[in-house]
Amino acid sequence: MDNTTHRTKRVFLLFTLPLIWLASVAYAVDTSPSFRVLKQWTIPNGGFGRILVLNKPKPTEQQLRSLGDDLQHLTRGDRNAYVAIYDDEKAARHRDAAISERLTKSETKQHDRHYLGLYVRNANTGHNEFQIYPKGFDGPNIIQNY
């Protein structure tokens, strides 16, 4: 092997291996966040409603999109799915009171700040979307259709 070929291989490895490492780190960072089911109920027409609390606060938009993909996959056998996503347990526990408007102003702010998304699927109508609120319910709304 001549010096030029050897030098080319060395340069290739010096630039390629760090890029491969960076890509693997970026993938690990942008995977969907882990969660726990705070509450679950049966939907009479088939399927489940769930309230999820993420194990890590303030996920990125990409992590939330990835979570939506995971939820679509996890609920694929359910006729219907209704999944509310929070990054704070206290806010998640206030969901029912927030819907019925029984929270104080400060509790409503706290609830809305930590309400990050709603995945809804109805097999009867074909409706299948994830509404993402990366900065909380009062922030921008991103709709991811499936």
pLDDT mean for each 10 residues of the chain (146 residues): 53 43 44 96 96 96 97 95 98 97 97 98 96 97 97
Would you say 45 and 79 are in contact if contact means Cβ atoms under 8 Å apart? yes
Residue-level pLDDT at 44: 94
Residue-level pLDDT at 75: 95
The domain locations on the chain are 1-30, 32-145
One-letter identity of residue 36: R
Other residues' Cβ atoms within 10 Å of the Cβ of residue 74: 14
Supply the pTM of this predicted model.
0.78
Residue-level pLDDT at 18: 43
Instruction: Determine the Cα–Cα distance for residues 135 and 137; give it in Å rounded to an integer.
Output: 7
Residue-level pLDDT at 138: 95
